[in-house]
Amino acid sequence: MKHIFKQGNKDLPTLLLLHGTGGDERDLLPLADMIEPDASVLSVKGNVDENGMARFFARLREGVFDEEDLIFRTKELNEFIDESANNYGFDRQNIVALGYSNGANIAASLMYHYKDALKGGILFHAMVPRRNVKLPDLSDALVFIGAGKRDPLIPMQETMELVKNLQDARAQVTEFWTEGGHELRREEVDEAKRWFEANFK
């Protein structure tokens, strides 16, 4: 997969950057710098092309995912992370995803499908990736969820369902709500930084 790797402090988790629809592997680099400038970064570009916009998996229409493709792409990304950990020599067991929107959705999907894919995740404006599936035991995982109370794409109920699914799988989940919509707000980035520092430094 197209990507950027930046070596940082080996004692910190590697940040796995996953952009939103229409973004690329450069998009979230400034965000990673705000969360933890010393962390190694693996920033990946989604392999799916939707009318010229990169995504991490196909959708049938806005908010309705192509489940078969989601499962395939989640496996593809998980294997790409395995290979990258080998190639670049970072700790496969110590990765924190940092994703926005479509990128947060595939990060959630990694957690829904694979027990040890991620040590943690900062999920900004994520949806429920799949329903009626049993999640693996996520008792080692820490998740920060940033959401907007007026997000036109993601009803509050859906964010709460995501939180509940993760908690039922025994992940430690921190929620942070803004008064905003689908856009990423400074206040949630600041809160995610505090969360990262409290849990990983």
* Residues belonging to the active site: 101, 151, 182
Closer Cβ to ligand MLT, 39 or 117, answer by number: 117
**In the bound complex, what is the minimum distance in angstroms from residue 74's beta carbon to ligand MLT?**
12
Pairing of strands 142-148, 48-50: unpaired
**Residues within the interface to ligand MLT (CB under 6 A):** 20-21, 59, 62-63, 101-102, 105, 127, 153
**Burial class of residue 7 in the structure, from the number of CB atoms within 10 Å of its CB (0-12 exposed, 13-18 middle, 19+ buried):** exposed
Query: What's the CA dihedral at 21, 26, 31, 34 to 10 degrees?
Result: 180
Closer Cβ to ligand MLT, 24 or 116, answer by number: 24
Nearest partner of 7 among 64, 87, 63, judged by Cα:
87
Closer Cβ to ligand MLT, 19 or 196, answer by number: 19
